[in-house]
Amino acid sequence: LSQARSSPENLAPPSAHGCLGQPPEGTSRIERITARGEFALADGRTLRPLGIAMGRLSALESQIIRQQLLWQLAQLSSSPDRWGRHAGWALAPSIMAGHDPLPLTLALLGDGLGLADPSEVSAACRPALLKAEAEARRGKRGIWRDPGAVIDANTPQAGLVRLSGQFALLEGRVLRVAEGRQRHFIDFGLRGSGSASAA
């Protein structure tokens, strides 16, 4: 979480990012981080941070995050999902005097520890997520140190095998968009060409 803390822009009050509309509702310690990037809290709950699809963390990265002993919890879902996870935001007290708490999601994205996932957040919050990810990509931090972090959608097989079980980012020119009875299809190449297709 070092890079996000060193940037004054990322240390703006959480409400300034459009991600939080309510004050924190308690604190908890992070006891461990699961292989799927979820945060097991000391109070027994599991936090799934909003706004990010986590990559695999190294032991050192997990240790650094856990060292932020007390996290303020904000807008945590009142009931868990079917996997027992509470979706929400977490804030860490800033190590810089005079600054407001730092949103965990923006810190993780700023250090390149995941992909921005704007699907569940408000429209006002999305630019901050995408900006934090873009800065990490430019700085080649975290997952962006790997030149294969962005997979060519026309030749995706090798990259997808390597990232099995993780979220992946594909990039390419869309050849066709089709609408089925229950879903839309996005094709990056002709059928049988080996190009990616999404539904």
Task: Give the model's pLDDT for residue 76.
Answer: 79
191 touches 178 (CB < 8 A): no
- pTM of the entire structure? 0.71
DSSP string, 101-147: PEEHHHHHHHTT-EEE-GGGS-TTTHHHHHHHHHHHHHHT-GGGGST
**Amino acid (1-letter code) at residue 130:** L
Task: Give the model's pLDDT for residue 11.
Answer: 39
Residue numbers of the chain with a pLDDT score lower than 70: 1-18, 20-24, 58-61, 63-70, 93-101, 156-167, 192, 199
129 touches 121 (CB < 8 A): yes
Task: Give the model's pLDDT for residue 35.
Answer: 74
Coil/strand/helix, residue 78:
coil
Residue 77's Cβ-side half-sphere holds a number of Cα atoms within 13 Å equal to 17
Task: Give the model's pLDDT for residue 146.
Answer: 80
Task: Give the model's pLDDT for residue 94.
Answer: 57
Task: Give the model's pLDDT for residue 159.
Answer: 63
pLDDT digits (tens, 9 = 90+) for 111-145: 888 889 988 888 888 998 999 999 999 999 888 88
Task: Give the model's pLDDT for residue 130.
Answer: 92
Task: Give the model's pLDDT for residue 14.
Answer: 47
Task: Give the model's pLDDT for residue 199.
Answer: 67
